[in-house]
Chain A
Amino acid sequence: MSKLEQLIQQVRSELGADFVSTDIVGMDGLSIAGGSIDPSFNATDASARFSMVMKLAEKASGKVGMGKVDDNLVTTDKSYIISRFLGDGSYFWGLAVTRNATLGSVRMLMNEYADQLWDAIPR
């Protein structure tokens, strides 16, 4: 198991029953690592779509002078979907958790693991 996959496993363990899915995605829209509790979940589609979201968020933020984007959080009736840029912004970390999750602690968790994930990405 690669270091990246180990870290993803740790994240899944920490989130427990709140975990839905996670992916590390390049800005070409391709996932390089991840997993989901739902075997039918289409990670390829999700990665591609949310890379477009992150690109558009960057563009939008630039146009209104808000600076670089750190992350984007979508709240739906079923889940929280957080997409967070890693390192130099060439990858982002997508994480979906249930609405039962304590959002504040999910954000703290992402703060703790973001740098480790970036360091573990093969380059």
Chain B
Amino acid sequence: MNQLSGSAQINDLLSKMNSEGEFPISVVTDLQGLPIAWAASQGMDPERQSAVVALVQRAATQAGKQLGMAGTDEISFFDANGQHLVCRPLSVGDYQLILAVLVPDRDHTYRRVTNHAVSEIRRIWKSFWK
């Protein structure tokens, strides 16, 4: 039986996801852009990452509404080198969160590991804080 707290389990989950996906940083953030959990390599700034992710989410939500689209499932933006930030919004109970990972380049896959992380975050949340 896992004795870790809910918060510790989410941090641990992100750490394992980073190892599997070779991501330099991943965060779970609230819509205010404050990080709730993170796993990051040295030199990465989880607070800045969270703030940016929330801004991106906000812009995407507004854009989606303007275009009459359904809620966002994933937001990605790429730099010239192929490094991309992937944001996966998720709802748990009354709380809106965003899982965001920095994918090093186009050769790295992320969808499967982030899908797994999203469902695990939901499971942990429900078992600790429903």
Choose from B33, B35, B47, B48 the contact partner of A102 (Cβ within 8 Å): B33
Inter-chain contacts of B50 with A (CB < 8 A): 104
**Min distance, Cβ A74 to any Cβ of chain B, angstroms:** 14
A107 to B47, CA, bound (A): 9
Q: Contact check, B52 vs A105: say whether CB atoms are below 8 A apart.
A: yes
**Min distance, Cβ A2 to any Cβ of chain B, angstroms:** 29
Interface size counted on chain A using CB atoms at 8 A: 6
Q: Contact check, B47 vs A105: say whether CB atoms are below 8 A apart.
A: no
**Min distance, Cβ A60 to any Cβ of chain B, angstroms:** 23
Inter-chain contacts of B54 with A (CB < 8 A): 102, 104-105
A97-116 near B? 1/0 per residue, CB < 8 Å = 00000111101100000000
Inter-chain contacts of B108 with A (CB < 8 A): none
Restricting to A71-94, which residues have a CB under 8 Å from any CB of B? none
A108 to B32, CA, bound (A): 12
A107 to B45, CA, bound (A): 13
Nearest A residue to B57 via CB reads A102
Can you name 14 A-B residue pairings with CB atoms under 8 Å?
A102-B31, A102-B51, A102-B54, A102-B55, A103-B32, A103-B34, A104-B47, A104-B50, A104-B54, A105-B51, A105-B54, A105-B55, A108-B47, A108-B51
